[in-house]
């Protein structure tokens, strides 16, 4: 079926809601605030809520509008995935660290569900489980070993699905079986954001949008001076929560983070309205879905069950018909039954990685940072923002295992990922070789 370019909306599907995604006020920029947070996404809001409920005055500075970045441009899959396998982590960091990280990921997923329920956020959250399709027989064996370890040692609910039985999960012959992890779910990204924004507003947090932070300097007496294009603010505590949207390298604080995190473009499409019956016929388990490819693809039913969303890493800064065709071909390769389907939405957004492929919470030069969620920020961003604030306030006896020194910088890199085309080519080649040798 040929696509009608005029029917494609190049904006997130999530934005079509009636709830406000902005904080409306006419307050002037304060001259001082106990806490200043740079970045108005999930991380910044989570940290802000903890500080505000501890009695601190909190100001969020956002260079665009709140949530304009990854917080409303994601796929709404709540996985808290960890890129390195448990075995890889154990080899590099030790068994205790690997165990604790996987346990913390599970705790973060549970905490997100509890947060939505406790705070009354109608994010259409569902604990659907997640099916990870194996791209070869070798990958199936690897998943089987991983599932056994996670279930038996860590108590994480997961199980294998054979290739013969995978049509109970998804009516596709693209995979060689896969793994189901039952403690993973999905939500409506913007409805979650809108509910979160309402809560921090009720807690007294002020958000100043379309305000650029130009520098963060030491104050002559104590704390920091946050210099913006609309004035300066004296703060006792400063948090940088910009992740894949960190500004230019001309400023010390942003240059430091940019040298350690790689922003990677993720592109997403959403089909036209297929109806609940057709979506369920294709995805009987109605889960979140992914695969084991190096150039991974993630997909899911939309929260209302009427459409299918699919995303993958991409290089284009702005979405185009080329992006749509690339992702639509990915969708058809998994579900050829959708060859007749039109695409109604397409958009892009940034995720961020560091060299360790593990989210990090750290402090440098008196500034607190949380970043590099490796494409799983729907869970990690909120969790890390919360843990960061709790640790700064001394509210927790169990610091996050993600807390530590700053990630190592990347050589010959200042924030412009010039090497990504080569990485994509190499990963694509590995995917082809894997299917050819082990399919």
Check residue 2 and give its pLDDT.
Answer: 67
Strand partners, 313: 266
- Per residue in 175-196, pLDDT tens? 999 999 999 999 999 999 999 9
Check residue 255 and give its pLDDT.
Answer: 84
In this predicted structure, the answer to whether residue 249 has a pLDDT above a threshold of 80 is: no
Q: E strands of 167-305, at which residues?
A: 178-181, 185-186, 206-208, 213-218, 224-228, 231-240, 262-271, 288-291, 297-301
Q: Which one, of 152, 141, 132, lies nearest residue 82 by Cα? A: 132
The span from the CA of 138 to the CA of 250, in Å, is 46
Domain residue ranges of the chain, discontinuous segments joined by +: 21-73+191-262+355-420
Domain 21-73+191-262+355-420 of CATH type 3.50.50.60: yes
Contacts of 411 (CB under 8 A, 6+ apart): none
- CA of 174: how far to CAs of 49, 102, 249, 341, in Å? 43, 28, 43, 19
Supply φ then ψ for residue 346, to 5 degrees.
-150, 135
pLDDT band (50, 70, 90) for residue 318: confident
How many residues are present in the chain? 439
Check residue 256 and give its pLDDT.
Answer: 87
Distance from chain centroid for Cα 189: 10
Whole-structure pTM value? 0.94
The span from the CA of 238 to the CA of 109, in Å, is 27
| Cβ atoms of residues 349 and 319 within 8 Å | no
């Amino acid at each position: 079926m040929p696509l009608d370019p005029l029917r494609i909306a190049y904006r997130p599907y999530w934005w079509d809601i009636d709830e406000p995604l902005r904080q409306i006020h006419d307050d002037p920029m304060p001259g001082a605030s106990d806490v200043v947070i740079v970045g108005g996404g999930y991380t910044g809001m989570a940290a802000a809520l903890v500080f505000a409920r501890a009695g601190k005055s909190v100001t969020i500075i956002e260079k665009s509008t709140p949530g304009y970045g990854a917080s409303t441009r994601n796929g709404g899959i709540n996985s808290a995935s960890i890129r390195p396998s448990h075995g890889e982590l154990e080899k590099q960091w030790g068994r205790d660290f690997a165990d604790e990280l996987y346990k913390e990921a599970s705790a973060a997923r549970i905490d997100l569900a509890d947060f939505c329920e406790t705070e009354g956020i109608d994010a259409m959250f569902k604990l659907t489980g997640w099916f990870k399709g194996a791209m070869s027989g070798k990958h199936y064996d690897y998943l089987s070993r991983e599932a056994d370890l996670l279930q038996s040692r860590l108590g994480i609910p997961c199980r294998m699905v054979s290739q013969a039985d995978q049509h109970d999960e998804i009516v596709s012959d693209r995979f060689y079986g896969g793994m189901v992890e039952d403690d993973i779910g999905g939500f409506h990204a913007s409805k979650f954001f809108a509910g979160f924004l309402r809560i921090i507003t009720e807690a007294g947090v002020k958000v100043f949008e379309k305000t650029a932070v130009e520098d963060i300097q030491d104050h002559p007496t104590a704390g920091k001076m946050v210099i913006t294009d609309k004035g300066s603010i004296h703060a006792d505590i400063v948090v940088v929560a910009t992740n894949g949207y960190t500004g230019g390298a001309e400023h010390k604080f942003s240059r430091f983070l940019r040298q350690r995190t790689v922003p990677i473009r993720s592109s997403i499409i959403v089909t036209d309205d297929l109806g609940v019956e057709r979506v369920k016929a294709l995805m009987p388990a109605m889960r979140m879905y992914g695969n084991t490819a190096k150039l991974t693809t993630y997909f899911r039913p939309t929260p209302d069950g009427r459409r299918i969303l699919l995303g993958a890493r991409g290089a284009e800064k702005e979405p185009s018909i080329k992006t749509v065709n690339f992702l639509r071909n990915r969708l058809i390769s998994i579900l050829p039954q959708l060859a007749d389907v039109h695409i109604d939405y397409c958009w892009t957004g940034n995720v961020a990685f560091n060299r360790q492929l593990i989210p990090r919470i750290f402090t440098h030069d008196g500034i607190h940072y949380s970043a590099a969620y490796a494409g799983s920020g729907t869970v990690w961003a909120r969790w890390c923002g919360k843990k960061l604030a709790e640790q700064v306030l001394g509210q927790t006896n169990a610091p996050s295992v993600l807390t530590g020194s700053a990630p190592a910088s990347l050589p010959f890199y200042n924030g412009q990922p010039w090497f990504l085309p080569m990485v994509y080519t190499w990963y694509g080649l590995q995917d082809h070789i894997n299917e050819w040798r082990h399919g």
